[in-house]
């Protein structure tokens, strides 16, 4: 097969898949070293090049370095985390309580990626039927940043155990701006080779073959080559 101009070389492809499979949610391994401004700008540019509905680019990036602001966010986390722990019983509750689920003050930098739901006016191309597409677009910006950070050797941890209204208040967000992702960023001592929740026995990766259906939800595949290829896949793409 001839490769058209613009295709990735094998090593470029390898680099991309490496970022995907070796990206981790980091909370325990942060180092205090600051993230240099030029590196942070590269991460923000990666986020800013995400796809967005109607090219809306609904994101803003709030760079949080203040110890006081982070202490306020940590207090919100502790409150929400206490409530979350009450939802589990017995052993599961004990396991939940033992998990480290944020690195708000250990990481040198926090970043809130928001979605301005009014950007581009009331009629955004592509957002008439599915109004949440602006929020989905913002999640894609988060993922771009997360992958670029992995390639730069920077860990990112997403903290969602926060009451949205309280978070918005601490960050002074106007009503039309939604805080999609509260992130902790910094260089790390290591990237774990599996999700921390998996390593701690909370939950494992599901086999991809159980998640691919034929034509309708829950129906078996009729595409045999695809089914065979799926069954030959190791659970983690990293080992492929
Ligand atoms: C929307 C959203 C929200 C959260 C997360 C992720 C996402 C996508 N994750 C991270 C999550 O636990 C992690 O992604 C999975 O466990 C898989 O691990 P890896 O990301 O592959 O390392 C996460 N982790 C955590 O410690 N505290 C949290 O509050 C959250 N919240």
Range of the domain at 217: 205-235
- Quick: pLDDT tens for 145-167: 999 999 999 999 999 999 999 99
Is the CB–ligand 1 distance for residue 24 below 6 Å? yes
pLDDT class for 2, splitting at 50, 70, 90?
A: low
Q: Is the pLDDT of residue 236 over 80?
A: no
Note whether 94 and 191 are same-domain residues: yes
- In this structure, which residue's CA is closest to atom 9 in ligand 1? 158
pLDDT at 68: 97
* Same structural domain, 87 and 123: yes
Whether 90 is in a domain gets the answer yes
Closest CA to 238 of 1, 23, 9: 23
> What pLDDT is recorded for position 157?
98
Residues 120 and 223 in one domain: no
First-to-last alpha carbon distance for the chain, in angstroms, is 22
- Is-contact 134 60, C-beta < 8 A? no
Same domain membership, residue 212 and residue 103: no
Instruction: State the ipTM, two decimals.
Output: 0.99
pLDDT tens digits for range 90-117: 999 999 999 999 999 999 999 999 999 9
Residue 231 resides in a domain:
yes
What is the pTM for the complete model shown?
Answer: 0.96
Find, among 84, 110, 100, 107, the residue nearest to 196 by Cα. Answer: 100
Q: Is residue 240 in some structural domain?
A: no
Q: Mark whether 178 and 124 lie in a shared domain.
A: yes
Q: pLDDT at residue 235 above 90? A: no
25-79: pLDDT as tens digits: 999 999 999 999 999 999 999 999 999 999 999 999 999 999 999 999 999 999 9
Cβ 103 vs Cβ 28: under 8 Å: yes
The band of 3, judged by pLDDT with boundaries at 50, 70 and 90, is low
Regarding whether 193 and 222 lie in a shared domain, the answer is no
Is 231 or 240 the better-scoring residue by pLDDT?
231
Quote the pLDDT of residue 204.
97
- Looking at the 3D structure of the chain, how many domains does it have? 2
Contact 107, 154 (CB under 8 A): no
Is the beta carbon of 84 within 6 A of some atom in ligand 1? no
What pLDDT score was predicted for residue 138? 98
Comparing 21 with 5, which gets the higher pLDDT? 21
Please, where are the H alpha helices in 28-156? 37-48, 67-85, 90-98, 133-151
Question: Are residue 197 and residue 213 in the same domain, yes or no?
Answer: no
Between the CA of 8 and the centroid of ligand 1 the distance, in Å, is 30
Instruction: Say yes or no to pLDDT of 240 above 60.
Output: no
Nearest CA to ligand 1 atom 30: 159
Asked if 176 and 224 sit in the same domain, the reply is no
The reply to whether ligand 1 has any atom less than 6 angstroms from the CB of 197 is yes
pLDDT value of position 238: 66
For residues 156 and 230, give the distance between their C-alpha atoms in angstroms, rounded to a whole number.
Answer: 30
Pocket perturbation via mutation, ligand 1, pick of 25, 102, 115, 198 by most ligand atoms within 8 A of CB: 25
- Per-residue pLDDT of 195-228, as tens digits, reads 999 999 999 999 999 999 999 999 999 999 999 9
Handedness of CA 36, 38, 44, 49 (dihedral sign): negative
C-alpha separations of 98 from 35, 198, 200 in Å? 29, 14, 9
Q: Give the Å distance between the CA of 137 and the centre of ligand 1.
A: 18
Tens of pLDDT, residues 8-20:
999 999 999 999 9
Residue 239 has pLDDT above 70, yes or no: no
């Amino acid at each position: 097969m001839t490769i058209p101009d613009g295709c990735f070389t094998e090593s470029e492809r390898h680099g991309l898949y490496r970022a995907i499979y070796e990206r981790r949610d980091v909370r325990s391994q942060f180092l205090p070293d600051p993230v240099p401004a030029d590196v942070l700008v590269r991460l923000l540019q990666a986020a800013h090049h995400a796809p967005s509905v109607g090219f809306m680019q609904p994101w803003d990036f709030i760079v949080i370095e203040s110890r006081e602001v982070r202490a306020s966010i940590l207090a919100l986390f502790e409150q929400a985390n206490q409530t979350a722990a009450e939802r589990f019983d017995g052993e599961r509750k004990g396991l939940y309580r033992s998990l480290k689920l944020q690195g708000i003050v250990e990481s040198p930098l926090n970043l809130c990626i928001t979605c301005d739901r009014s950007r581009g006016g009331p009629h955004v191309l592509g957002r008439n039927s599915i109004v949440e597409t602006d929020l989905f677009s913002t999640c894609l910006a988060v993922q771009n940043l997360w992958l670029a950070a992995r390639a730069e050797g920077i860990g990112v941890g997403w903290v969602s155990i926060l009451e949205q209204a309280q978070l918005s208040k601490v960050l002074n967000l106007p009503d039309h701006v939604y805080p999609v992702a509260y992130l902790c960023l910094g260089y790390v001592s290591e990237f774990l080779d599996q999700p921390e929740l998996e390593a701690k026995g909370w939950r494992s990766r599901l086999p991809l073959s159980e998640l691919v259906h034929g034509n309708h939800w829950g129906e078996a595949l009729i595409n045999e080559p695809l089914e065979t290829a799926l069954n030959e896949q190791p659970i983690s793409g990293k080992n492929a």
